[in-house]
C-alpha cells in the first residue's frame, strides 16, 4: 500500500486521538466515585436485613409491653372494686371479708409480678431501639454519601463527555483526510492489536510494540520509497517514519 508521507503523519495524529478517546472512556468507567457508590450501596443493602430485624423486634416488644399494660389495668380495676366493697361496709360476713382480703393480697402480688416483667420488656425494647437508631443513622449517612458521590461522578462525567465530544469531532476531521484503504487497514489493525494500529519509528524502535528494529529491517526501511506504507513484521502495525526515526 502507498500513501503520501504527510498523510502517513496524519495517521499518527489519528492514533493519538484514538488513544486519548480510549483513555477518556477508561476514565469514565473507572471513576473513584463509582467504586465508592458501589461500596456504600452494598453497605446499605447489607444493613437492610438488620434494620428489618430490629424493627420487627421493636414492634414485638411494644406489643408485649401493651399486653402487660392491659393485664395490669385489669388487676388494678379488680382490686379497686374489691377495695370499694371493703370500704363500703356492705360486707359483714367474716368469711367473705377474709376471701376478699386474700384476693386483694394475691392481686397485689400479681400486679407486682406483672410490673417486673413489663419493666424487663421495656428495658429490652429500649436496647433494641438504640440499635435501630444506630442502624438508621448509619443508613442515612451512607445514603447522603451516595448522593454526594453521585454529584462528584456527574461533574466528572460532564467534564469527560465534553472532552470526548471535542476529541470525537477532531478525530472525524482527521479521519476524513485519510484515504479509505489506509484508514481501513489502520482500523483493522487497531481493533486486533489492543487499540494501537500505527506507531512512529523513534530511535530505531517500532512505536507500536516498542521493540528495537533489526539491522536488516532498518536497511529495508531505508530502501523503501517514502510513500510506501510500512508494517512491522513483529507486531503487524503500521510504522510511520519521521525525522526522529533514527534509521
Helix, strand, or coil (residue 234): coil
Residue 200: φ, ψ to 5°:
-80, 140
Q: How far is the CB of 235 from Zn ion (least distance, A)?
A: 3
Pairing state between β 238-240 and 230-231: antiparallel
Q: Work out whether 232 is an interface residue with Zn ion (CB under 5 A).
A: yes
How many positions of this chain bind Zn ion (CB under 5 A)?
6
Q: How far is the CB of 226 from Zn ion (least distance, A)?
A: 20
Among 174, 206, 230, 240, binds Zn ion (CB under 5 A): 206
Buried b (16+ CB within 10 A) or exposed e, 46-67: eeeeebeebeebbeebeebbee
Part in contact with Zn ion (CB under 5 A); list of ranges 106-114, 128-136, 147-155, 199-207: 199-207
Q: Work out whether 235 is an interface residue with Zn ion (CB under 5 A).
A: yes
User: In terms of CB distance, is 181 or 234 closer to Zn ion?
Assistant: 234
The three three-digit cell numbers of residue 172, written as one number = 472525524
Burial of 171 (0-12, 13-18, 19+ CB in 10 A): middle
Among 13, 209, 228, 242, binds Zn ion (CB under 5 A): 209
Part in contact with Zn ion (CB under 5 A); list of ranges 19-27, 65-73, 118-126, 231-239: 231-239
Q: Work out whether 208 is an interface residue with Zn ion (CB under 5 A).
A: yes
d(CA 222, CA 235): 19
If you search the block for the grid coordinates 414492634, which residue do you land on?
59
User: In terms of CB distance, is 62 or 209 closer to Zn ion?
Assistant: 209
User: In terms of CB distance, is 40 or 238 closer to Zn ion?
Assistant: 238
* Contact status, residue 121 vs residue 65, Cβ threshold 8 Å: yes
**Binding residues for Zn ion, per CB under 5 A?**
206, 208-209, 232, 234-235
Amino acid at each position: 500500500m502507498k500513501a503520501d508521507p504527510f498523510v502517513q503523519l496524519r495517521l499518527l495524529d489519528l492514533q493519538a486521538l484514538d488513544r486519548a478517546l480510549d483513555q477518556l472512556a477508561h476514565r469514565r468507567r473507572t471513576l473513584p466515585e463509582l467504586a465508592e457508590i458501589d461500596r456504600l450501596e452494598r453497605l446499605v443493602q447489607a444493613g437492610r436485613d438488620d434494620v428489618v430485624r430490629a424493627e420487627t423486634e421493636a414492634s414485638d416488644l411494644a406489643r408485649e409491653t401493651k399486653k402487660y399494660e392491659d393485664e395490669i389495668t385489669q388487676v388494678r380495676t379488680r382490686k379497686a372494686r374489691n377495695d370499694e366493697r371493703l370500704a363500703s361496709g356492705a360486707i359483714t360476713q367474716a368469711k367473705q371479708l377474709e376471701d376478699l382480703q386474700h384476693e386483694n393480697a394475691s392481686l397485689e402480688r400479681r400486679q407486682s409480678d406483672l410490673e417486673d416483667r413489663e419493666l424487663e420488656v421495656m428495658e429490652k425494647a429500649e436496647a433494641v431501639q438504640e440499635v435501630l437508631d444506630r442502624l438508621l443513622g448509619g443508613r442515612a449517612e451512607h445514603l447522603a454519601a451516595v448522593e454526594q458521590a453521585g454529584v462528584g461522578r456527574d461533574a466528572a462525567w460532564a467534564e469527560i463527555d465534553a472532552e470526548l465530544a471535542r476529541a470525537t469531532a477532531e478525530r472525524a476531521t482527521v479521519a476524513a483526510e485519510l484515504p479509505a484503504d489506509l484508514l481501513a487497514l489502520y482500523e483493522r489493525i487497531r481493533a486486533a492489536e489492543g487499540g494501537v494500529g500505527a506507531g512512529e519509528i523513534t530511535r530505531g524502535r517500532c512505536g507500536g510494540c516498542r521493540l528495537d528494529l533489526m539491522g536488516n529491517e532498518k536497511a529495508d526501511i531505508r530502501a523503501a520509497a517514502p510513500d510506501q506504507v510500512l508494517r512491522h513484521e513483529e507486531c503487524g502495525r503500521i510504522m510511520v517514519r519521521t525525522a526522529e526515526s533514527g534509521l
